[in-house]
Amino acid sequence: MAILVIAEHDNQQLKPATLNTVNAASQLNQPISILVIGSDCQAVAEQASAVSGVDTVLVADNAAYQHQLAENTAKLIAELASDFDYVIAAGTTTGKNTLPRVAALLDVAQISDIVAVKSADTFVRPIYAGNALATIQSLDSKKVITVRTSAFDAAGTDGSATITPCGLVHANAQSEFVSEELAVSERPELTAASVIISGGRGMGNGENFSLLEKVADKLGAAVGASRAAVDAGFVPNDMQVGQTGKIVAPDLYIAVGISGAIQHQAGMKDSKVIVAINKDEEAPIFQIADYGLVADLFEVLPELESLL
Amino acid sequence: MKVLVTVKRVIDYNVKIRVKPDGSDVDLTNVKMAVNPFCEIAVEEAVRLKEKGIASEIVVVSVGGSEAQEQLRTALALGADRAILVESTANTESLNVAKLLAKVVEQEQPSLVIMGKQAIDSDNNQTGQMLAALCDMPQATFASEVSVADNSVTVTREIDGGLQTLSLQLPAIVTTDLRLNEPRYASLPNIMKAKCKPLATVTPDDLGVTLSAHTQLLGVNPPPQRSAGVKVKSVAELVDKLKNEAKVI
Ligand SMILES: Cc1cc2nc3c(=O)[nH]c(=O)nc-3n(C[C@H](O)[C@H](O)[C@H](O)COP(=O)(O)OP(=O)(O)OC[C@H]3O[C@@H](n4cnc5c(N)ncnc54)[C@H](O)[C@@H]3O)c2cc1C
């Protein structure tokens, strides 16, 4: 019995999501290997070798894996899976893109977005926008799983796993990377931040998000958004928190000008402390907020900035 | 070019679900059902490709019980040309749905398959990727822009870090994200017309697919409930509470 965890990275840095995933995997009490698939990704392999509780780091370093196209990586993972009983990845857009493809190649189910490990074959996962928690038993001999990273703490980084190169190459002629437009920000990543301040339709426009950013800078917070704010073009899609965006659980979540639809709550209701700032006292967000302030956000935000 | 789109019958997105008291599953009795919103976006994208003269025929497929005919009729009213219901209520987990769809794809030979990225009931986000594997087709998930030219499709994808653009050779599979388009409403005349469009029903047996269970649902529980806290009167009070009571800043 052994576990293969797929590393989340950008060829330079191992992403924190991998640490949460390893911690989830460690609850199965089996030897853990991490697989790094990329191009010029030796630095990532070294970072992965320091993750606590990991025995081996396999590195598939080849130009064919530069953009981690699912057509290539799924074949590689499925081939390597013969030596493992579990294949586990973070429920990021990369994990979600790749792992179902791996599962189908292996003719097994994929268990998505687990929030708890009950036993070697039984897991808990949210369904219906987190309004119910399903306990699911896998009947397959191999288990392919994605992890909701916000539900697990990060593993430590005092390990010293051996690094083993893996020479298998899977390339394809059917899909090709064209370009990428990645958000650059000095602020912490949404899924790793301990404080998040999010804006909704109530922000009115994209420029007004600078009011949130000023508060975020004082708090060392990440900035998020509701779907309505993204759809309206105020901010880019990578800031969307919710059922179909990013799932977060920071120590403090401040919702500003967000009504609190079920789909938004699905992405943030496991935050430790929730603050809602909304001028409508009937807004559903207040039903889950620890601290509610019924007020106009345009008055509140500058004052909040000055008091911090 | 033929486009195949898939639709799933799910609970309406406005409905807040309840868990059955015996904890066996969620309670769907008398709950309003609808086309999964991401599938609606898939249908809309196919219809737009047809309006641009790129798609020549749109085939819409659903796997589910006979009630799913209702959602297929909705898709026909939105502009799909014909519908196929794969009638199956047992073992409809993603892998099995993908296996059934793979047979339909084999028979229909579409150039492009457009699906929703996830269904808002099971929230799995799997079927498109699985179908792509089974058909050995390239995939572009979480699409916010799709453009078809010659024998390829260029897709911009919403990823955690921003946007990524891929080019896929056809036939290919695309799954939709929220920003791809804003679906239209079906007009009354189109709803009437949809009643006469062809809707075929097949079974897993007809398709030669034997399904087995890969997972078992042991139970469903409500999540821990949060209750409303206090209302503060001023920003100063809020900052004080966060510092001294919650100790989070
Ligand atoms: C398939 C599907 C998936 C979805 N996925 C997501 C998702 O992942 N994430 C998500 O967020 N949503 C998602 N949604 C959308 C969700 O249903 C809501 O439409 C959305 O969350 C609403 O965003 P909002 O709260 O910003 O806007 P609104 O609901 O319009 O709320 C705006 C709020 O701002 C307040 N306000 C306005 N002006 C001020 C002011 N000056 N001061 C203070 N308060 C003010 C108003 O009182 C109101 O409460 C999804 C929907 C569907 C159908």
Higher confidence at residue A180 or residue A183? A180
pLDDT recorded at residue B110: 98
Q: Does B22 touch chain A (CB under 8 A)?
A: no
A221: nearest CA in chain B?
B249
Contact A101 B164 (CB under 8 A): no
For B161, the closest of A69, A182, A273 (CB atoms) is: A182
- B247 lies in some domain: no
Fold of the CATH domain A190-307: Rossmann fold (3.40.50)
State yes or no: pLDDT of B150 exceeds 90.
no
Number of domains comprising chain B:
1
State yes or no: pLDDT of B52 exceeds 90.
yes
Question: What band does B38 get if pLDDT is binned at 50, 70 and 90?
Answer: very high
- The secondary structure element, H or E, covering residue A305 is helix A297-307
Compute the average pLDDT of residues A220-246.
97
Domain ranges (residues) in chain A: 3-165, 190-307
Dihedral sign for Cα atoms in the order A252, A236, A301, A215: positive
Q: Does B133 touch chain A (CB under 8 A)?
A: yes
Q: Is the CB of A198 under 6 A from ligand 1?
A: no
pLDDT recorded at residue A298: 98
- The secondary structure element, H or E, covering residue A37 is strand A32-38
Q: Does A237 touch chain B (CB under 8 A)?
A: yes
Closest CA to B128 of B172, B76, B89, B160: B172
pLDDT recorded at residue B185: 96
Rounded-to-integer distance, Cα A88 and Cα A152, Å: 14
Enumerate the residues of chain A whose CB falls inside 8 A of the CB of residue B231: 281, 286, 291-294
Q: Is the CB of A300 under 6 A from ligand 1?
A: no
Q: Does A233 touch chain B (CB under 8 A)?
A: no
- What is the residue with the minimal CA distance to atom 49 of ligand 1? A259
- B109 lies in some domain: yes
Rounded-to-integer distance, Cα A64 and Cα A39, Å: 7
DSSP B235: H
- B166 lies in some domain: yes
Q: Is the CB of A44 under 6 A from ligand 1?
A: no
Contact A180 B163 (CB under 8 A): yes
State yes or no: pLDDT of A181 exceeds 90.
yes
Rounded-to-integer distance, Cα A276 and Cα A308, Å: 17
- Specify the CATH architecture of the domain A3-165: 3-Layer(aba) Sandwich (3.40)
Interfacial A residues in 10-39 facing B (CB < 8 Å): 10
Q: What is the pLDDT of residues A269-291, one digit of tens each?
A: 999 999 999 999 999 999 999 99
Identify from A13, A87, A180 which residue to disrupt to test chain B contact, counting B C-beta atoms within 10 A and taking the largest count: A180
Compute the average pLDDT of residues A98-119.
98
Q: CATH number for the domain including B46?
A: 3.40.50.620
Contact of A79 with A73, CB cutoff 8 Å: no
Model-level ipTM above the cut of 0.85: yes
What are the backbone angles phi and psi of residue A88, rounded to the nearest 5°?
Answer: -130, 135
Q: Is the CB of A255 under 6 A from ligand 1?
A: no
Dihedral sign for Cα atoms in the order B136, B137, B140, B143: negative
Token readout for B20 is 């059955």
Average pLDDT of the residues of chain B = 97
Q: Does B65 touch chain A (CB under 8 A)?
A: no
- Ligand 1 centre to CA of A257 (Å) is 8
Task: List all residues 6 or more positions away from B34 whose beta carbon is below 8 Å from its beta carbon.
Answer: B9, B10, B11, B12, B13, B71
Q: Is the CB of A146 under 6 A from ligand 1?
A: no
Rounded-to-integer distance, Cα A119 and Cα A121, Å: 5
Angular region, A225: left φ>0, alpha ψ -120 to 50, beta rest:
beta
**Domain interval for residue B41:** 2-221
- Ligand 1 centre to CA of B233 (Å) is 24
- B227 lies in some domain: no
State yes or no: pLDDT of A59 exceeds 80.
yes
Rounded-to-integer distance, Cα A3 and Cα A144, Å: 10
Question: What band does B91 get if pLDDT is binned at 50, 70 and 90?
Answer: confident
Same fold, A3-165 and A190-307: yes
B219: nearest CA in chain A?
A135
Closest CA to B170 of B185, B182, B155, B190: B155
State yes or no: pLDDT of B243 exceeds 90.
yes
Closest CA to B97 of B113, B81, B75: B113
Rounded-to-integer distance, Cα A25 and Cα A147, Å: 9
Q: Does B132 touch chain A (CB under 8 A)?
A: yes
State yes or no: pLDDT of A1 exceeds 80.
no
Closest CA to A248 of A195, A287, A182, A187: A195
pLDDT recorded at residue A84: 98
Q: Could you identify the residue written with the tokens 């330079």?
A: A12
Q: What is the pLDDT of residues A128-168, one digit of tens each?
A: 999 999 999 999 999 999 999 999 999 999 999 999 999 99
Interfacial B residues in 28-57 facing A (CB < 8 Å): 38
Question: What band does A213 get if pLDDT is binned at 50, 70 and 90?
Answer: very high
Q: Could you identify the residue written with the tokens 């950013």?
A: A213
The pLDDT > 90 percentage for chain A reads 98
Q: What are the start-end ranges of the H helices in chain B?
A: 37-51, 69-78, 94-108, 127-135, 188-194, 204-207, 235-240
Enumerate the residues of chain B whose CB falls inside 8 A of the CB of residue A176: 166-168
pLDDT recorded at residue B238: 98
